[in-house]
Structure 1
Amino acid sequence: MALQAYQSTFEHSVAGVNYSWWLEQQAERHQEQLQVLQSQQPQWAYQPVISILLPVYNTPPTLLAECIHSVTAQLYSNWQLCIADDASTSAETRQALQQLCAGDKRIKLVQRENNGHISAASNSALAVATGDYVALLDHDDLLSPDALLKVAAAINQHPNALLLYSDEDKIDGQGKRYDPHFKPGWNPDLLLSQNYISHLGVYQRQRMVNIGGFREGLEGSQDHDLVLRFTDGLQSQHIVHIPEVLYHWRAVAGSTALGSNEKSYAHKTGLQVLQQYVSKQHPQASVSSTAGDYYRVVWPLPSPAPLVSLLVPTRDGVDILAPCVNAILEKTDYRHFELIILDNQSSCPRTLEYMQQVSERDERVRVLRWDHPFNYSAINNFGASQAKGSIIGLVNNDVEPINAGWLSEMVSQACRPKIGCVGAKLYYPNGSLQHAGVILGIGGVAGHSHKYFNGNALGYFARLQLVQNLSAVTAACLLVRKEVFEQVGGLNEEHLKVAFNDVDFCLKVREAGYRNLFTPFAELYHHESVSRGAEDNPEKQARFQAEIAYMRQTWGPQLDNDPAYNPNLTLAYEDFSLRCLSS
């Protein structure tokens, strides 16, 4: 069967690839790429000076030496190291600083008279920086030897870059690297959930100066505050992600690398930082803690509440349809919606009787007939044309809400002007994950993020628990403003009658300039594809293969480079595991 053949192109989960083994596998290719880059460097039109800000306070001399050596050993030499000693009380630290800074004119040492904490110390370092860009380095962490070379190369490739950031990993007391964080590209809503930018962060110096540098009194979340203020008003082309590990975060006692509970004050400060930021966008927006000491922004619903038109295509199958419709009507705290059952040639007397009864029982329910061969895209386009609401909801007839606030959450997100499609978190009846957003390229076209994971799992760097921007979400439960739906021409009823029409739609919405979004705070059960059945005859198989071909022909480069994912992560599995050379 065609669907099974497609699904067989990737596995749903795999035992995690050992990071040390992965690094060994990548070493030869990495070295070859590095040699090419070094040979190209003399021809670069721009050789930017990168000033590294290094606040220091009572750092153990051994760790401090390793940190500074990671700068002096850089393959790119056009750098400046700006060290601000925040009035260290350790004589060993002060002595080590004098010795380590001697003999290299590129190193500037500022001795602060009073301890002002990390923001004040970082500002002291910024005050003596003269580079075009500034990079942030903690006093016991390490840069990879090629870090600044890769940054300079990215600046030459993206001359409009104002902020650049890389992937990162951790390093333990024995020097072993572990826990790599392979990040997505620019993801504004994920940044409101966690500071995923973090290390290595490189900022255009003049803009950093213009916004006032670091704000004092926000210790623990000063970097998060900085990146929020720095990126405010920037376009995506100003922010560049370098998908390589260029920074090693030292995991020692007292470091947040070991866990957020090492600096509990940082989370409290982070709530303050985010509340100040989102309040500027909407005074009624609020910020709260969520699983794993991350953040959730609750956006207010408009007043008056917009009418939502939930479109539910169906054909017979009352045993599937009735639980779906009844649950939506009974369990949804957002009341201002209409539920349009799109009847695609039902003939089952029980189904027809149920549709009549429920439409008579609840004035929010309408039944519209669509007397044509099954075409998911065409059915929903018809429903959207008949919808009275300003928000369209694409809802499968085999979903059931879990939390009463599911629709309120999705509406609050969909009403934000820059947001396009909003997707929900869907579970199989046994509680495992069915959908937490769509990742492009998996299996050649697309797959579901973290499919089959335990329903309570945090996911890859907590992404199962966080609102975030994704390239696509499933139409099994998708909200979008009607004006956006119409702007992109709705679903593709000519080429994508059954499969991938939601991915295609989301990509059209993204190309129109909107951010698609996944929220884990709208939760529903999904009895996947129960009503449509299997791809079990030659006609269906041919149609499915044609849909795959259309997606590859239309969106090939986008499918192979999902900005919400990372090229170091696999396209063979749905579990965010490491990508091997063969995959």
Structure 2
Amino acid sequence: MAVKIITPYVYDNEIAEHKDKFWDLDIYYEKDTAGIGSDLMYQKMWNQFPEHDIFILHADMHPFKDGWWEEMLTYVDKYPEAGMLGLLLLYPLQNNNYEHYIQCAGGKFTDGKPDHFGSGLIVENKSQFKEDLELDDGRYTTVREVAWTTFGGCYLRRSFLNTVGDFSPEYEWTYNRDVDYCLKAREAGEHIYQIPVRLLHHESRDNKRIKDQSKADMESRNLQTLLAKWANSKFYKTLDKEIKSG
């Protein structure tokens, strides 16, 4: 099936750079003029292409190396049982050995809350919100099945989208809708894989810049909604299973 790349955005001045970085790809851009948030923009955009698989590319992502798109498609073909495939997202920051810090290598649960394999850095000021940061030092070189993954730098088969449908309406603005969506997909028998194809990700630059107290309150309520719905489910557990072959 043909695939459509979608990139919602907030700030006009950053799209020229994005188009330059991804000059060889046919990307559909749409501005979030109504302020509905990234999640509902993905939904709005993927529903415009009902005959396509979807790749969600954030406006603050850049290629890690040439050929990444073709490399990803080989995994899509090799693992048809995976309805969703997440890429290995790296911060643009490196340590003294020129190893990138990992932003997301799939989703997990820590102390009962959604978390990432990786994360923990704020790029703007290079501060940490996790004590231990993970490096791209070879630890995520295999295909892995995970409980959930972030809706960015990810391939969604149309069959996967058709199975789950739209986002659940009880969530507000953004954050945790993607976790809920992935858990609903797994409950319906779908599989979510992480693949070792890399993209650079600044991480939620748009969302963070437009976040105010009201949106922070929405994020908090979303977490409570997620917990009420899934906390006692068998799907609300970390999954990190290596997949040996396609």
CA distance in 1, matches of 2:235, 2:186: 13
What's the counterpart of residue 135 of structure 2?
Answer: 454
Listed as ranges, the matches of 1:162-241 within 5 Å are none
Cα distance 1:412–1:492, how it changes in 2: closer, same or farther (>3 A)?
farther
User: Would the aligned equivalents of 1:433 and 1:450 in 2 still touch at CA under 8 Å?
Assistant: yes
Q: 1:510 to 1:532 in 2, by over 3 A?
A: same
Superimposed CA distance per residue, residues 148-190 of structure 1 (whole angstroms, 9 cap, x where no aligned partner) = xxxxxxxxxxxxxxxxxxxxxxxxxxxxxxxxxxxxxxxxxxx
Q: How far did 1:323 drift?
A: 2.7
Mapped contact 1:377–1:493 kept (Cα < 8 A): no
Query: Is 2:4 aligned against 1:309?
Result: yes
Give the whole-Å Cα distance in 2 for the aligned partners of 1:424 and 1:491.
Answer: 21
Q: Percent identity?
A: 21
Mapped contact 2:145–2:239 kept (Cα < 8 A)? no
1:420 equivalent in alignment to 2:83 = yes
Aligned to 1:550, the other structure's residue is in SS state helix
- The amino acid that maps onto 2:116 is H
The Cα shift of 1:429 comes to 0.9
Match of 1:327?
Answer: 21
Q: Are the structure 2 counterparts of residues 329 and 535 from structure 1 closer, same or farther at C-alpha, using a change threshold of 3 Å?
A: closer
Indicate the residue corresponding to 1:409 in structure 2. Answer: 71
The one of 9, 17, 27 aligned to 1:339:
27
Report the Cα distance in structure 1 between the residues aligned to 2:206 and 2:87, rounded to whole angstroms.
Answer: 20
SS in 2 for 1:540: helix
Of 205, 208, 216, 1:541 maps to 216
Residue 226 of structure 2 is aligned to residue 551 of structure 1:
yes
Say if 2:109 is the partner of 1:433.
no
Kept in 1, the 8 Å contact 2:147–2:183? The answer is: yes
Deviation sequence 1:333-376 (CA, Å, 0-9, x none):
xxxxx41112112xxxxxxxxxxxxxxxxxxxxxxxxxx23232
Q: Which has the higher contact order (CA 8 A, sep 6+)?
A: 2
For residue 322 of structure 1, what is the amino acid of its counterpart?
A
Q: Which has the larger radius of gyration?
A: 1
Contact 1:307 1:388 in 2 (8 A): no
Contact 2:3 2:54 in 1 (8 A): yes
- Cα shift at 1:497: 2.8
Please identify which structure carries the higher strand content.
2
Distance in 2, matches of 1:453 and 1:322, equals 31
Q: CA deviation at 1:549?
A: 0.6
* CA shift in 2, pair 1:388/1:513, >3 Å: closer
CA distance in 2, matches of 1:508, 1:475: 14
Cα distance, 1:548–1:309 mapped onto 2, change above 3 Å: same
Distance 1:542 1:406 in 2: 37
User: CA RMSD for the aligned pairs?
Assistant: 2.3
On the 8 A contact 1:312/1:341 being kept in 2, the answer is yes
CA contact (8 A) 2:83 2:157 kept: yes
Shift in CA distance, 536/450, structure 1 to aligned 2, threshold 3 Å: closer
One-letter amino acid of the counterpart of residue 402, structure 1 = F
User: C-alpha distance in 2, partners of 1:529/1:413?
Assistant: 26
1:168-215 deviation digits (Å, cap 9, x = unpaired): xxxxxxxxxxxxxxxxxxxxxxxxxxxxxxxxxxxxxxxxxxxxxxxx
Contact 1:392 1:479 survives alignment (8 Å): yes
Cα distance in 2 between the residues matched to 1:402 and 1:494: 36
Shift of 1:532: 1.6
Answer yes or no: is the 8 Å Cα contact 1:444–1:559 preserved in 2. Answer: no
What is the rounded CA distance, in whole Å, between the counterparts of 1:445 and 1:495 in structure 2? 16
* Distance across 2 between alignment mates of 1:324 and 1:488: 30
Residue matched to 2:13 = 318
Distance 1:409 1:510, change over 3 A: farther
Letter in 2 for 1:390: H
CA deviations 1:363-398 (Å, max 9, x no partner) are xxxxxxxxx232322211111111265211112110
Distance (whole Å) between structure 2 residues aligned to residue 485 and residue 467 of structure 1: 21
Name which of 133, 142, 146 aligns with 1:470: 146
Task: Please state whether the residue corresponding to 2:138 is helix, strand or coil.
Answer: coil
In structure 2, C-alpha distance between the alignment counterparts of 1:404 and 1:389, rounded to whole Å: 28
Q: Aligned to 1:561, what secondary structure does the other structure show?
A: coil
Q: 1:406 to 1:496 in 2, by over 3 A?
A: farther
Q: Tell me what 2:238 maps to.
A: 562
Structure 1: stretches of 5+ with no match in the other structure: 1-305, 333-337, 346-371, 566-583
Partner residue of 1:444?
Answer: 112
CA shift, 1:312, in A, is 0.5
Give the drift of 1:404: 2.7
CA distance in 2 between counterparts of 1:497 and 1:409 reads 33
